[in-house]
Each structure stands twice: as C-alpha cells, then as structure tokens.
Amino acid sequence: MSLPHRSFWEDELYDQKYDLIVTGGGLTGLSAAYFFKKEYNDAKVLVVERGTFPIGASTRNAGFACIGSIGEIMADLEIESEEIVKQRIKDRYEGLLLLRETLGDDLIEYDNCGGFEIFTNSDEFIRLQDHVPMLNEWLEGLTGEKDVFRVWTYLGIPAFFNRVEGQLHPGKMIKLLLQKCIECGVEFRWNTKVNEIDTEENKILSDLGHSFKADRLIISVNAFTSELMPEYKIKPGRGYVFVTNELDYMNWKGTFHYEKGYVYFRNIGEDRMLIGGGRNVAHTEEETAEFGVNQNIKDYLITFAKEVLELPPNWQIEREWSGIMGFTDSKSYILKLIGDNCVIAAGLSGMGVALGMNLGKKATELV
C-alpha cells in the first residue's frame, strides 16, 4: 500500500519530534522506553514495533529466570576469560532482581523454585562436581548469596541445584510492562516495520514510508539487528518449545537444564510440562529468522521426554511454537553508542529474561 497525499491536518501527527524513539518493543525496548520516561517525566517517547504485539523472543520464550548452570558456566570458561564469565553471572543476577522489583513477583507469577541441571552422563557429572566449591565462592563474591549450588539427586538422576533461580510467565511480564509504559505516557506505533535508520539525522523510516525523528534513538530489535544494520553481526537462532496436555501425574517441578542448557523443561502449573531447546541437533539449520518447526528437533525432544523424563503414557503435545533469539559471536550482548545519539542494545544470546530489562535501562543511561 502506498501512502496517499498527506492532509493539511496530518502534519500535526506526522511531524512530531520525539526525545527518544525505541525501535523494537520486546523486553529490552519496552524497558528502555519505560525507564527513560520515568527518569524524564516530560519527555516524548515512542516505541516502534513491527508486530501487533512484540514478535521476536520476549513473548515466546520458556520463562526461565536463570543466572547460569554449572555445565553452562564451565563450558563458557573453556572459551572466555574468567572476568567475562563472572560479569555475565553478575549481570543476570542483578537483571533478575531489577525485573522482580519493577514488576513484582505475584503479577508475573515469579516462582523462586530454583534451577536443576540433570545428567545422564555420570562421568560429566563427576567432573563438574569438583567445581561446586569454587563456583559457590564465586557466586558469594558476585551476589552475596551463600551456597548457591548444591549437589542433588532428582528422581534418581544426578543433578546440581541452583537455589537463586526461578520461573515466570513471559506473557504476563510483557503485558504488565506494556501497561506501565502506557500509564506513564509512552506512545506506540504498532504494525510499523522500520526499514532504515539514519543515525546522523536521528531518523527512522518505516516500510510504508513514514519517517520519525528524535533527539535520541535506541535500536533493540535483537535477532533482527543485521537486517537493519548489517555491520552488527548478530546471528538469528530459532528456538522451539512445546507444552503438553494435562498429565496424569507430574514428577518434575521447577526449572531444569540438560546438555549444557541446550535442552530445558519446566512445569506449567500443577500438571503441564514445557519442553524446549534441542538446537544442538540442528545448529546450522536453526540459524534463521523465519518462524517454524524443525522436525528433527521435535523428534529429539519427544524421545527425550519419553526416555529420560518418562512422562506418563498418555502425554501429548498440545501447543508448539518457535521464537527467534539473537546471538553474538562472544555470547555477550552489544550495548554500543553509535554517533552521538543512537544506542544499539541487542544480542542477548538466549538469556534475555534475566538480562533484558537491565540492558534496556543501561541503554537509556548511555543514550
């Protein structure tokens, strides 16, 4: 659809100048808009989002509010410095506290149930077990929390337990954050895909030809960053999740990781399970920004549910979906000032529930 000639009156609507425009209305972008408006009450703040609701990862994730499992931390240490790995744990811990303080545990159904990491490979478990004292010392230094990790056995399966993690309801989290943005006067342009960003003029251009100007820009489109700014190498990674029917019995309560976090599962309420991940069996195929289901991943997770989780015989998949994550090469997000007034905040590499709100807030401090 091309735009008709603009009416005389429409200049009033179209040519407004904003103090801040945020492109991308997921957890990071909404948080940026919210904290900026809270700090500068009179500021005109606009969020531009391509979907009717956010359509990336923030409403399509598994709701794990996690700071890191032993398997994941030790795997990170093989490729990154101790300083970077420690900083990420601290960021996730602080980000989670900010999210809980800002939105409130009850309204986002945050359950401080802790996080388990289970192992079917006992050699791997024994190898990692040696690191528990060191990691507990780290965690105490980083967060002030004592004895975060414990050795556990869950239904006879060797496990580690992290007592400072939990689960939440991502739909309620975003709905509440949206309400807070609207209440404090943030404006929205939904169904508006940004096609171009002019960081010199501080201007964005939509696919329908609308342009919006601001004193400051924040770009928080995560997995879709390279579509707008190809120089920023954030790879899309599709994630798959399914939810079961109501089960006759439910043995697994809490959040669980398996295979260095590639496979994850949790209870939803008293009798449903969510199972997701499995990108380790189709890594390259899943480097896509297209939504969809990879049958190999689905089959792998079904086998896992039957053979490892031993779900009751009548279990079925009741709902399945995908979402798109954004991965940086280093696994650390990008928070960068471009020119004088534009900040890019993206590449949360699959950990955004704990990181997203604080990243949005930090973006407002930088811009």
Ligand X SMILES: Cc1cc2nc3c(=O)[nH]c(=O)nc-3n(C[C@H](O)[C@H](O)[C@H](O)COP(=O)(O)OP(=O)(O)OC[C@H]3O[C@@H](n4cnc5c(N)ncnc54)[C@H](O)[C@@H]3O)c2cc1C
Which lies closer to ligand X via its Cβ, residue 86 or residue 210? Answer: 210
Which lies closer to ligand X via its Cβ, residue 158 or residue 352? Answer: 352
Exposure class string for 11-23: b at 16+ Cβ within 10 A, else e: eeeeeeebebbbb
Q: How far is the CB of 222 from ligand X (least distance, A)?
A: 3
CA distance 38 to 51: 25
Exposure class string for 182-207: b at 16+ Cβ within 10 A, else e: eeeebbbbeebbbeebebeebebebe
Tell which one of 34, 45, 58, 273 touches ligand X (CB under 6 A). 58
CA distance 127 to 119: 11
Which lies closer to ligand X via its Cβ, residue 129 or residue 187? Answer: 187
Using CB under 6 A as the binding rule, whether residue 29 contacts ligand X is answered as yes
Tell which one of 55, 75, 250, 282 touches ligand X (CB under 6 A). 55
Site string for ligand X, 175-194 (x = CB under 6 A): ------------------xx
Which lies closer to ligand X via its Cβ, residue 84 or residue 129? Answer: 84
Which lies closer to ligand X via its Cβ, residue 186 or residue 223? Answer: 223
Residues in the chain: 367
Tell which one of 20, 21, 57, 218 touches ligand X (CB under 6 A). 57
Site string for ligand X, 8-27 (x = CB under 6 A): ---------------xxxxx
Q: How far is the CB of 270 from ligand X (least distance, A)?
A: 20
Which lies closer to ligand X via its Cβ, residue 55 or residue 243? Answer: 55
Which lies closer to ligand X via its Cβ, residue 129 or residue 226? Answer: 226
Tell which one of 115, 342, 352, 361 touches ligand X (CB under 6 A). 352
CA distance 142 to 289: 35
124's tokens: 């791997």
Residues 80-139 that bind ligand X (CB under 6 A): none
Exposure class string for 120-156: b at 16+ Cβ within 10 A, else e: eeeeebeebbebbeebbebbeebbeeeebbeeeebee
Residues 322-341 that bind ligand X (CB under 6 A): 323-325
Name the strand (E) or helix (H) holding 257: strand 255-258
Using CB under 6 A as the binding rule, whether residue 348 contacts ligand X is answered as yes
Q: What angle do CA 223, 322, 332 make, to 5 degrees?
A: 35
What DSSP assignment string belongs to 48-96? E-SSSS--SSTTTS--EE-S--HHHHHHHHHHS-HHHHHHHHHHHHHHH
Which lies closer to ligand X via its Cβ, residue 87 or residue 129? Answer: 87
Residues 262-291 that bind ligand X (CB under 6 A): 276
CA distance 251 to 330: 36
Q: How far is the CB of 141 from ligand X (least distance, A)?
A: 23
Cβ count near 157 (within 10 Å): 17
- Counting Cα atoms < 13 Å in the Cβ hemisphere of 64 gives 28
CA distance 183 to 356: 21
Q: Are strands 272-277 and 263-268 parallel, antiparallel or unpaired?
A: antiparallel
Using CB under 6 A as the binding rule, whether residue 164 contacts ligand X is answered as no
Site string for ligand X, 210-249 (x = CB under 6 A): ----------xxxxx---x----------x-x--------
Residue numbers at the binding site for ligand X (CB under 6 A)? 23-29, 48-51, 54-58, 60-64, 193-194, 220-224, 228, 239, 241, 276, 323-325, 348, 350-354, 356
